[in-house]
Amino acid sequence: MIPITRLYVGQEEADAAAEAVKSGWLSVGPRAAKFEELVAAKVGAGYGVSVNSCTTALHLALAALDIGPGDEVICPSFTFIATPNSIRYTGATPVFADIDPLTYNIDPAHVETLITSRTRAIMPASQIGLPADLTALRKIAAAHGLHLVEDAAPAFGATLDGVPLGAISDVTCFSFDARKILTTGEGGVITTNDEVLAKRMKALRANAASVSTLTRHTTTAVIQESYDEIGFNYKMTDIQAAVGIVQLGKLDHVVSTRRALAARYNELLAGNDAVTTPYEPAGYGHVYQSYSIRLTRHTQLEVMTAMAERGVATRRITACHLQPAYFDTNAPELPESAKAAENHLLLPHFVGLTEQEQDEVVDALHAATH
């Protein structure tokens, strides 16, 4: 079977993890501090906050902004379910906006129509590795006094007009799970230029202790920490961070390889009029965390099934408002999200995908759509 992804980790990551284990410090510690600093520096943000997933990163960011019951946060429906879930965790209401059919990202014009006196934030997802239209969203957020909390889970390394994601929105949340651009197994990092917010997120990720675990364990002084509010345990371990530090050194290679594979897919699929290849607007630096096509004549299920029978794995993204967990939001019709959820398809796409495997994927797709 050609899988949807294959990990790009090796001896260096194994050695770094072993070193962390042998160091005697496994929980959030010096390596997690270094990793979050390196991630922030890489994207040009002032601060980084490491956490144990992007799902928790999104929740932590909203919680630190005091978003809660009675508030509304506008997000796309065509995204991973963690995006609206993170809003629900706070007690706030996710308000689903439709997407631009070309980019699969939230449509700023629709966002604007959904703003009410309860709206506190916009949470775009930079889906599949392509930045959302952050230029337009920033303007809307500024005009209405809203926070721009970006779900950039699949888009570490992506750029907009040459500026890396992570330094554009008020808060940006990245994922380092096993299918992302870089991985720590599970993990996330939040970047922001807001010092006060970063400090609050660092406290809240560790049960809101007034003194960090690392500080308490590295001093001989007696410390009696206090807990002034309800926090969470969202800490990244030093083992994960050690892997992440090694992975960071591979970012340029990962992004250029994924872009080259995407360009090759584009060429190989150019003659197949039953599929539409991805769109990358001028000025957008797509990292192709996924390679997504549109099926113009066939159903998603029939193509997924036919390709699976030929040994090729595929995946899809859902429209959250059409999932049972969100039926109660009574979302309006979101035609582009519903269409995308029905007719797009993600093909195997990862560093290490050989030309022969890519040819097999394309042959299976041609056969399924002839």
Of 71, 352, 66, 327, the C-alpha closest to 200 is 66
Candidate ranges 76-84, 262-270, 346-354, 362-370; the one touching ligand PLP (CB under 6 A): 76-84
Residue 76 engages ligand PLP in binding (rule: CB under 6 A): no
Cβ proximity to ligand PLP: between 40 and 123 the closer is: 123
Q: Work out which of 71, 98, 150, 151 binds ligand PLP, going by CB under 6 A.
A: 151
Candidate ranges 138-146, 150-158, 216-224, 237-245; the one touching ligand PLP (CB under 6 A): 150-158
Cβ proximity to ligand PLP: between 188 and 285 the closer is: 188
Q: Work out which of 2, 16, 45, 54 binds ligand PLP, going by CB under 6 A.
A: 54
- The answer to whether 157 touches 251, Cβ cutoff 8 Å, is yes
Total residues in contact with ligand PLP, by rule CB under 6 A: 14
Distance CA 115, CA 269 (A): 40
Residue 346 engages ligand PLP in binding (rule: CB under 6 A): no
Q: Work out which of 75, 122, 125, 340 binds ligand PLP, going by CB under 6 A.
A: 125
Amino acid at 150: E
Residue 53 engages ligand PLP in binding (rule: CB under 6 A): yes
Is the torsion defined by CA of 64, 146, 100, 157 positive or negative?
negative
Place of tokens 């999932």: 323
Cβ count near 322 (within 10 Å): 17
- The answer to whether 85 touches 55, Cβ cutoff 8 Å, is yes
Cβ proximity to ligand PLP: between 83 and 90 the closer is: 83
Q: Work out which of 67, 153, 261, 268 binds ligand PLP, going by CB under 6 A.
A: 153
Residue 154 engages ligand PLP in binding (rule: CB under 6 A): yes
Q: DSSP 3-state assignment of 76?
A: strand
Candidate ranges 8-16, 51-59, 191-199, 218-226; the one touching ligand PLP (CB under 6 A): 51-59
Residue 83 engages ligand PLP in binding (rule: CB under 6 A): yes
Residue 350 engages ligand PLP in binding (rule: CB under 6 A): no
- The answer to whether 352 touches 10, Cβ cutoff 8 Å, is no
Q: Which of residues 177-206 bind ligand PLP (CB under 6 A)?
A: 177, 188
Cβ proximity to ligand PLP: between 25 and 80 the closer is: 80
- H or E stretch at 311: none
Nearest approach, Cβ of 92 to ligand PLP (angstroms)?
17
Q: Which residues pair with 238 in a beta bridge?
A: none
Nearest approach, Cβ of 327 to ligand PLP (angstroms)?
21
Cβ proximity to ligand PLP: between 119 and 183 the closer is: 183
Residue 149 engages ligand PLP in binding (rule: CB under 6 A): no
- Structure tokens given for 249: 């050194």
Nearest approach, Cβ of 151 to ligand PLP (angstroms)?
5
Residue 82 engages ligand PLP in binding (rule: CB under 6 A): yes
- The answer to whether 265 touches 54, Cβ cutoff 8 Å, is no
Cβ count near 208 (within 10 Å): 16
Is the torsion defined by CA of 86, 90, 96, 99 positive or negative?
negative
Residue 157 engages ligand PLP in binding (rule: CB under 6 A): no
Of 301, 288, 296, 342, the C-alpha closest to 319 is 342
Cβ count near 320 (within 10 Å): 26
Strands (E), 112-156: 119-122, 147-151
- The answer to whether 54 touches 188, Cβ cutoff 8 Å, is yes
Residue 107 engages ligand PLP in binding (rule: CB under 6 A): no
Nearest approach, Cβ of 122 to ligand PLP (angstroms)?
15
Contact positions toward ligand PLP, by CB under 6 A? 53-55, 79-80, 82-83, 125, 151, 153-154, 175, 177, 188
